[in-house]
Amino acid sequence: MNGSSKAGSLFYVTPPLHEKYSRQMLFKGISTEGQERLLASRAVLVGCGAIGAAVANLLVRAGVGAVRIIDRDFVEPSNLQRQTLFDEADAREALPKAIAAERKLRSINSEVRVEGVVADLNTRNADELLGGFPLILDGTDNFETRFLVNDFAVKTNTAWIYAAAVASYGITMTIRPGQTACLACLLGSSEGAGLEETCDTVGVLGPVVNVIASLEVAEAMKLMTGRESALHGRMISCDVWTGHFQSVPPERNPACRACVRHEFTYLEGEAQPHITMCGRDSVQIHERHRALDLKALQQRLKATGAEVRQNDFLLRFRVPPYEITIFSDGRAILKGTKDPAVARSLYSKYIGA
Ligand SMILES: [Zn+2]
């Protein structure tokens, strides 16, 4: 029935699980033993946009034991074309993506411990949010966060899988610190430069997101089941519009800032800016490091005559032409401006310094 189950293991494949995962276990690369390892595995996913949602969906269906999902954003109608975990009701309610994802994933596979965390990963909370997970998966939409993840992974000797997509093009690579090239090996001299093309400027197609997420999760499954010899060891890129696929072995940089010189500038350097661009026409501002009482704020704003909407996780109000969304950790996303000075003044006027 479940022949190779280890006696005493908390994560043996019981008859119902055997049925649930039968097609995956019939695959020789996984088998019953691999499934037991998946059930005992844990991974943290940084970002739950398009790639992140596809990754989370595949991980949870595969029966990975525990998945933490970190995301700073909320669901909007423009996400639904490619972010496969979310629906129109999530967008209407402006649910945080981490919460909407957690709810949907629990309904898909209630045996997986899914934990959605509404937060912006940064130098101050990286230890708390990423620490203790043996595998970090990239679902982010920006290189600042990727270099932070790379620094954390190299410093703590944690495997992570880089994945990105924009327009019809995507790229992915598995990084095992000390054994493979890291992200800084590849992009060292151009860190932060020439990487401005984003989904908000040139768009992104759903199909490329799913190709890249699929490659990412296949690699994650090899790592989680101890099949390291099956890792592709390549940097794979593809363009679903032209049909061009490329696969090259990435080379370590013998002078790499991160994995050779151990200079973790993104992790230990000067604190991250409190104001960051967030999409084409939005600014994120995070100057408070303490929780905010959303109820009290709502009453204060209502008294000014502002139109205020609130759910359990955030509060949103409009001050034309701006729309301001505030999370309980004090973070705000201000839509309608690219100007940090405007954002800062709106924040101190309506939320407080
Ligand atoms: Zn490196």
Query: Residues with Cβ < 8 Å from 8, sequence gap 6 or more?
Result: none
Expressed in angstroms and rounded, the spacing between residue 188 Cα and the centre of ligand 1 is 8
Q: Cβ(222)–Cβ(231) under 8 Å?
A: yes
What does the pLDDT look like over 316-325, one tens digit per residue? 888 888 889 9
pLDDT band at 330 (very low <50, low <70, confident <90, very high): confident
Which residue in 48, 182, 185, 199 is the catalytic one? 199
Active site annotation includes 199: yes
Arithmetic mean of pLDDT, 99-113: 97
The pTM score is 0.87
Measure the CA angle with vertex 118, ends 306 and 326; round to 5°. 15
Expressed in angstroms and rounded, the spacing between residue 129 Cα and the centre of ligand 1 is 23
In the sheet that 159-166 helps form, which strands lie side by side, from edge to edge? 113-118, 66-71, 42-46, 135-138, 159-166, 169-175, 235-239, 244-248
Q: Is the pLDDT of residue 261 over 90?
A: yes
CA dihedral sign of residues 123, 124, 125, 130: positive
Expressed in angstroms and rounded, the spacing between residue 46 Cα and the centre of ligand 1 is 20
Arithmetic mean of pLDDT, 281-302: 81
Expressed in angstroms and rounded, the spacing between residue 178 Cα and the centre of ligand 1 is 8
The mean pLDDT value of the chain amounts to 89
Q: What is the C-alpha separation between 44 and 130, in angstroms, rounded?
A: 7
Q: Is the pLDDT of residue 5 over 80?
A: no
The Cα-based distances of 73 to 49, 52, 101 in angstroms read 9, 12, 12
Identify the pLDDT of residue 202: 82
- The rounded Cα 273 to chain-centroid distance in angstroms is 20
Identify the pLDDT of residue 141: 87
Expressed in angstroms and rounded, the spacing between residue 283 Cα and the centre of ligand 1 is 31
Identify the pLDDT of residue 353: 57
Q: Which long-range contacts (CB under 8 A, 24 or more apart) does 285-290 make?
A: 285/331, 285/332, 285/333, 285/334, 285/340, 285/343, 285/344, 285/347, 286/120, 286/122, 286/329, 286/330, 286/331, 286/332, 287/330, 287/347, 287/353, 288/329, 288/330, 288/352, 289/124, 289/330, 290/330
What does the pLDDT look like over 64-97, one tens digit per residue? 999 999 999 999 999 999 999 999 999 999 999 9
Identify the pLDDT of residue 1: 40
